[in-house]
Structure 1
Amino acid sequence: MTAPAGHPLARLSAAEIDSARTLFQKHDLLTPTTRFALLALEEPTKDAVLAWRTGDPLDRRVRATLLDVATGQVRAVVASVTREEIDQVTEVDTAVDGQPPILLDEFIAVDEIVKADPEWRAAIERRGITDFDLVRPCPLSAGSYDIEGERGRRLLRVLSFVANRPEDHCWAHPIDGVVAYVDLIEKQVIQLIDSALLPVPAEEGNYDDPVFTGPPRESLKALEITQPDGPSFQVDGDEVTWEGWKFRIGFDPREGLVLHQLSIQDRPLVYRASIAEMVVPYADPSPVRFWQNYFDAGEYLLGQQANSLVLGCDCLGEIRYFDAVLADGDGNPREVSNAICLHEEDFGVLWKHSDLFTEAAETRRQRRLVISYWATVGNYDYGFFWYLYLDGTVEMEVKATGVVFTSSYAQESDYATEIAPGLGAPYHQHLFSARLDMMLDGVGNAVDELDVRRLPVGEANPYGNAFTRTATRLTRESEAARSADNSVGRVWRISNPGRTNRLGQPVAYVLRPEGQPALLADETSSIARRAAFATKHLWVTRQHADERYPAGENVNQHPGGAGLPAFVADDESIDGEDIVLWHTFGSTHFPRVEDWPVMPVDRCGFALRPAGFFDRNPTLDVPATTAKHCH
């Protein structure tokens, strides 16, 4: 038995991962060809966690998805490493319920599989490429398109790139017009699409080579951030406190960074906050690219792609790092050092006024606590940043950078930008689903949709200057699949009808969406069925422990309809109930020339802001700045 954890939501330890693997082996769940597609903490129910007190017994459980890479058999397992018992084993029908996430081993195997295929080799040679050691097959999730013979097979689709030499970045040289469909269990190419003989772009894009970039500029002077008295936050294990805020840090192999039991001034706000899914749908309908739609959490496991962060590069200031311990494909613990970064940032003016009558002049500075991590998924790098502010605001910001996915550019293309001579970058979206398990001053919460309303000239508005705001209560799940609308300033107010502020108003926060486009694919498309969550900016559901992911449990090659469409089918009441908000946000990317050869950070996100949660401005006690440079 492993040493007991100190809290029901404590992150899995290396010892617990080892214990889980030993337990599975003992119960004959592992064969020489079994791989762990997923091993994660099976979190206790919300009620159980809220009832738990320090010193109470803990039952630490895990859930795993086991894939036999020789037979394709998939089993979902729930087990207790405390009791050393297997609680549940479920056989997964991959033809109906989808495939497990893609393994690192499978990405590696694809190189050997495609290069052994004579048709693929012939297609590459037709494009004038004969040195296969410099060809970089790029394995990509297959999706689900009712293509004959594909249902139930474990597949990847493979586009290819070529490097001029080992250190040359291959993204500059796509081998376009050809794609291999690979069966990972049979370990062979089952279909080759060779639709067009397109030129391979020649110009290199080596952003790390001074020959390409030119000498580094010498005009930037040193910029240092120091906190001579140390940071204002305190850390006790996974628990963080800062300026009235308190929360627990979690890290999941699929979702990445998780914030548990977020509260302010000892008042609960969000029980659990995570980015539960993201999808990257591409717009090119050509025979070799129509299937390009990636679920970076459900298919690739965002948490498993976490970077080890470097002080002074990824994070600045007085930093507290947290390591992440994850299970590899063999079920052994793997540590990602410095996976999570915690630090404070100055954020400009918090409030300010120079009074005309009293001549008082007061300024206070805003500060925020930053909890972040970075994940690299293929060509893109994503930074996930949770911000907590002194005034009670919560923000989520995603920073997208890395290298845009490339193609050969067809002149006057409707679906791509030419970013270098002959090099295209297809249009696409990055759509994220934030799962916010709400607990605003308790578990009985409600949601209103607030819209601005312009009033016509009339007896009550003779000069036409009037406008007001309407509030529409979302009472059932069927009413709560909503779209943002910036033309009416739409926000969603989350309130607790059972708690009021000193003015008798229900305490509340508002969710402010950015209101960028939701999923742009046709509503009858495969990706609209599989990523139905992304067709709306907001969904509100009753809280259920098994409703974890907006696109369902096994996203990879799932035919669609899982996740949120299934969650809302029973149309439960959400008025004054224990509710979960699912917020879709993101960007529609029409790549620019300036995005090549490496893309400056693009940002998207949302905010939760107090709206009657406090009785007045909660930052009146923030002291004036005493730094030497402020006079």
Structure 2
Amino acid sequence: MSKQKQNPVVDHPLEQLTAEEIETAVEIFEANSELGDGVQYHNVMLNEPPKSAVKDFEPGDPFDREVDIVAREDRETYEATVSLTETELKSCEHIPGVEPGLLPEEIEGAQETVKNDPEWREAAKKRGIEDFDLVMVDPWAASGFEPEGYEGERICRAISWIRSSPNDNGRARPIEGLFAFVDVDAMEVVEIEDNGIPDPENPLPSEDADYRADRVETREDFEHLDVVQPDGPSWEVDGNKVEWLDWEMRLGWNPREGLVFHEVSFEDDGESRPVLHRASASEMAVPYGDPDPNHSWKNAFDIGEYHVGRMANELTEGCDCLGVMKYFDVEMNTIDGESETLESGICMHEEDDGVLWKHTDERKPHTEVRRRRRLVISFIATVYNYDYGFYWYFYPDGSIEAEVRLTGIDSNGVVPVEETAEDTHGQYAIVAPGVKTPIHQHFFNFRLDFDIDGSPMRAYEVHNEPTGSERNRKNGFRAKETLLERENDARQDIDPNRGRYWRIASSETENSYGRSCGYKLEPHDNVTAPMKPNSSVLERAGFIQNHFWVTPHDDEERFAAGEYPMVNDDTVGLSEWTEQDRSLVDEDLVVWYTQGVNHVTRAEDWPVLPVEIASFSLKPEGFLDSNPSISLPPEPCHTDHDLTSPGDD
């Protein structure tokens, strides 16, 4: 299918920044700020207008176009706001003691700095490293584990691997126990940590763990599957506005979160009804559980420290998506403040997802079936060894599902070759001779800024409980609904045994039967964090302490671990905001949902991990009067080929 380009016209306050806007904002900043020539541009992002201003906007209204800039000079961080409308620098403020996330240029610089450091090279040679062009280096933010005297500095802790040849799996052979601490501002190694070689006779794993199609024998009994839509897709696209069946939404993007949804609404009886003002993945935390000092420090914030938007893939037709696809390019800034286009950063397609509803009238007989087609909008980011696919599904029945698919290569280390699974104590898996993959978890926090019918809202906890007295033997139970009046009431966890879910409902609108119009958050599989209360993970990633949180809307409360989690032991985020215990009754509400994945690694995860899936659903509950997908037409049911094998009757 041919690639469709976006309309570059900016006619709405939430349109994504264009390349020209990024570079114009930098020019205005440079012409009016007092910073010098050594400025590094970490983020040049749309300053999203306040929620109230967006809700009041009508097509054709004038609007201010502002850009937020995070810049660094001489180890200091500055926040600025530029007005493109007025062509002026509105503010520029020094923010002491904070570090923005790592830029791709910084990561590349740190990689080369480590590989060229004499002390690191000498230690690597003792492990059998000879060709340093084959070395791979991953600089991890050293948050909480900086060398003495460098606390709070822009420090990375670099780990490394060695390829056998340029095309081999770069993560099959870890260089264990050797770390380089890099001062990213100075771009120099400030300390080498050498914890020794676990197996001196076998310092490097022997296997390359190939997985590329040109390097492994692929099977011949896997026939091609294609998705064909001869009449084209069911969507309509205007710039970044998408319409599909009863859904309408705007697609946003920024370097930190990647894909953002704005103004998500559902049409009901000819009326466009707001559901979500804004939705995105706001933060991630990936703690590791192996107490081995070579791995116990690992604790990555893949959104706040590395910015998944910057690490997003250019999606390719027929692989990441299937069928008739619509791609969206996105613009981001370089470290020098220039614009850079990520082509095909967002993919949209439709896919079949089984039966949506069916009934057979056995007395006629007659059967009605409707297929559960869904609109899929996605992006994929590669954060070093892991690949994360962020998928948002929109269904004809008014439901939404947010899903993350985790794949890639598990972070790994070296153990003695003779070590077996009996020696692991549940802390890691042996996946190849001399190679282990530690137990770890992934926590994704989703920020869901609700806007049910554009009204004030209330939040409820709902669970099943029995009814009737002990002497009454009749069956009876109910879904008990409890109003969550304050922030501390709303800090809750899943309870699948009691069927717990949460409901966000309008304080003003009702359906035809007197039920307040609302949506429920229905959890799927989840996990809690098993770390000790004083662990660095729980201190920095307070949002993983509970699955479900609710706050009153605040345009400044955007990221669950705060604005600057990088090398920051004193983050200010969701757990700190909710200490105010603000009222949640008849307020503009934001739900924060923490979705966890418990990854007890397996040999079957090697050399590339089959996807682990983390997801939850948002479903209309009292929002509508009936099933809106009754109006879907039946799909034609036929096959193009005779699949009967020769000789079959």
Quote the residue 1:444 is aligned against. 456
Query: 2:455–2:507: 8 Å Cα contact kept in structure 1?
Result: no
More off after superposition, 620-629 vs 599-608: 620-629
Q: Is 1:553 matched up with 2:558?
A: no
Separation in structure 1 between the aligned mates of residue 34 and residue 373 of structure 2, nearest angstrom: 50
| Paired position in structure 1 for 2:5 | none
Percent identity (aligned):
39
State the match for 1:151 in structure 2: 151
In the alignment, the residues of structure 1 paired with residue 96 and residue 140 of structure 2 have an alpha-carbon distance, to the nearest angstrom, of: 22
258, 261, 266: which is aligned to 2:260? 258
**Of residues 586, 607, 614 in structure 2, which corresponds to 1:604?**
614
Query: Could you tell me which of 596, 599, 602 is aligned with 1:586?
Result: 596
Instruction: Find the aligned partners of 1:423 and 1:559 in 2 and give their Cα distance.
Output: 32
2:192 corresponding residue in structure 1? 192
1:146 Cα offset (Å): 7.5
Deviation string, structure 1 residues 508-530 (Cα, Å, up to 9, x no partner) = 21101124113232221111111
Q: d(CA) in 1 for partners of 2:213 and 2:316?
A: 21
Amino acid at match of 1:227: Q
Deviations 1:385-435 (A, max 9, x none): 111001011001111111111111363123211111111111111110111
**How far apart are the structure 2 equivalents of 1:262 and 1:29?**
41
Partner of residue 41, structure 2: 36
The separation in 1 between residues aligned to 2:327 and 2:274, in whole angstroms, is 25
What is the CA distance between 1:629 and its match in structure 2? 4.1
Q: Match for residue 352 of structure 1?
A: 358
**How far apart, CA to CA, are the structure 2 residues paired with 1:310 and 1:273?**
25
Could you say which residue in structure 2 is the equivalent of 1:314?
Answer: 320
CA contact (8 A) 1:193 1:288 kept: no
- The CA deviation string for residues 284-327 of structure 1, in whole angstroms up to 9 with x for no partner, is 22222222111111111111111111111111111111111111
How is 1:396-407 mapped onto 2 (pairs within 5 angstroms)?
396-407=402-413
Partners of 2:501 and 2:323 in 1: CA distance: 34
Deviates more, 1:20-29 or 1:530-539: 20-29
The one-letter amino acid paired with 2:234 is S
Distance, in Å, in 2 between the alignment partners of 1:261 and 1:330 is 33
Q: Specify the SS of the correspondent of 1:576.
A: coil
Distance 1:59 1:418, change over 3 A: same
Out of 502, 508, 519, the residue aligned to residue 518 of structure 2 is 508
Partner of 1:472: 482
Deviations 1:328-371 (A, max 9, x none): 11111111111111111122111111123443321122211111
Q: Contact (CA 8 Å) 1:342, 1:369: kept in 2 or not?
A: yes
Counterparts of 2:227 and 2:165 in 1: how far apart (Å)? Answer: 40
Q: Write the distance in 2 (CA, Å) between the matches of 1:566 and 1:80.
A: 31
| Rounded Cα–Cα distance in structure 1 between residues aligned with 2:67 and 2:453 | 30
Letter in 2 for 1:419: V
Aligned residue number for residue 221 of structure 1: 223
1:530 to 533, 540, 548: 540
How far is the alpha carbon of 1:221 from its aligned partner?
2.2
Give matches, 1:11-410, under 5 Å.
11-68=16-73, 71-94=74-97, 98-145=98-145, 148-198=148-198, 199-208=203-212, 210-211=214-215, 213-214=216-217, 216-265=218-267, 266-409=272-415
How far 1:580 sits from its partner (Å)? 0.4
Distance 1:106 1:468, change over 3 A: same
Structure 2 residue identity aligned to 1:78:
T
Deviation track 1:471-507 (CA, whole Å, cap 9, x = no partner) reads 1211111211111111211100111121111111111
Count of paired positions: 619
Would you say the 8 A contact 1:279–1:430 is kept in 2?
A: yes
Q: Which residue of 1 aligns with 2:443?
A: 431
Alignment map for 1:453-472 (pairs within 5 Å): 453-454=465-466, 458-459=470-471, 461-463=472-474, 465-472=475-482
CA distance in 1, matches of 2:88, 2:428: 53
Letter in 2 for 1:49: V
- Give the Cα separation in 1 of the matches to 2:333 and 2:302: 18
* 1:140–1:313 Cα change, 3 Å: same
Give the CA deviation at 1:536.
0.8
Match of 2:4 in 1: none
**Matched residue of 1:18: which SS?**
helix
| Bigger mean CA deviation after superposition, 366-375 or 619-628 | 619-628
Query: 1:64, 1:80 → 2: CA distance?
Result: 11
Distance 1:624 1:128 in 2: 64
Aligned to 1:565: 575
User: What do the CA deviations read for 1:249-285 (whole angstroms, capped 9, x no partner)?
Assistant: 1111111111110000111100101011111111122
Partners of 1:401 and 1:356 lie apart in 2 by 45
Does the aligned pair in 2 maintain the 1:485–1:515 contact within 8 Å?
A: no
Partner of 2:646: none
Contact 2:152 2:568 (8 Å CA) reproduced: no
Q: Which ranges of structure 2 fall in alignment gaps of 5 or more residues? A: 1-7, 641-649
Q: Which secondary structure does the structure 2 equivalent of 1:477 belong to? A: coil
Q: Give the CA deviation at 1:118.
A: 3.6
Point out the more displaced range, 606-615 or 447-456. 447-456
**C-alpha contact 1:506 1:612 (8 A) present in aligned 2:** yes
SS at match of 1:174: coil
Distance in 2 between residues matched to 1:163 and 1:174, nearest whole Å: 9
* CA-based RMSD: 1.8
Q: Which amino acid aligns with 1:436?
A: L
The alignment's TM-score, normalised by the length of structure 2, stands at 0.92
Could you report, residue by residue, the CA deviation over 1:178-205 in whole angstroms, capped at 9, with x for unpaired residues?
Answer: 2122212233322222223123211111
Superposition deviation, residue 543 in structure 1: 0.5
Q: Which ranges in structure 1 are unaligned for 5 or more consecutive residues?
A: none
Do the aligned partners of 1:409 and 1:416 also contact (CA within 8 Å) in 2?
Answer: no
Comparing 576-585 with 340-349, which one deviates more in the overlay? Answer: 340-349
Segment of structure 1 superposing worse, 100-109 or 154-163: 100-109
User: Contact conserved, 1:268 with 1:442, CA < 8 A, in 2?
Assistant: yes
Give secondary structure in 2 for the equivalent of 1:43.
Answer: coil
Q: In 1, distance between residues paired with 2:484 and 2:250?
A: 30
Deviates more, 1:468-477 or 1:580-589: 468-477
Cα shift at 1:4 = 7.4
Q: Cα distance 1:240–1:111, how it changes in 2: closer, same or farther (>3 A)? A: closer
* CA distance in structure 1 between the aligned counterparts of 2:313 and 2:560, rounded to whole angstroms: 25
Distance in 2, Cα, partners of 1:221 & 1:126: 48
CA contact (8 A) 1:280 1:293 kept: yes
